[in-house]
Amino acid sequence: MAEKIKLVQGDSRPQVQATLTDDTTGVPIDITRATVVLKFRVINGTTILSTLPGYITDAANGKVCFTWPPGSLDVAPGQYEGEIEITFEDTTVQTVYDTLKFIVRAQF
């Protein structure tokens, strides 16, 4: 995703919706009985600021939604990135290679 997701400091929306697909085939990844999280940090930082649980909306078609827990966007205005990680039922882990880009502006 090349476009930045625009957020406002202190908010708890918008939800981030994603369809997880295989990079080679483009086929949706079946996330039945998997857990999915979005790790959120300052762009190029090393500290994870929030880990958002993914709510699977259509497992067979790799569709997942992330919501911002209270306080998770109580961050300084600036640029952030997110990494999606899938843990399958057999405990194997697959991290989506491309990161999500976010920009947070100050609340009025």
Q: What is the CA radius of gyration of the chain?
A: 14
**First CA to last CA across the chain, in angstroms?**
28
pLDDT tens for each residue of 54-68? 999 999 999 999 999
CB contact set of 60 (below 8 Å; sequence gap of 6+): 28, 30, 32
CB contact set of 25 (below 8 Å; sequence gap of 6+): none
2.60.120.280, 3.30.1180.10, 3.40.50.2300, 2.60.40.10: CATH of 5-105: 2.60.40.10
Whether residue 2 is predicted with pLDDT greater than 90 in this model: the reply is no
Whether residue 1 is predicted with pLDDT greater than 70 in this model: the reply is no
pLDDT at 50: 94
Whether residue 74 is predicted with pLDDT greater than 60 in this model: the reply is yes
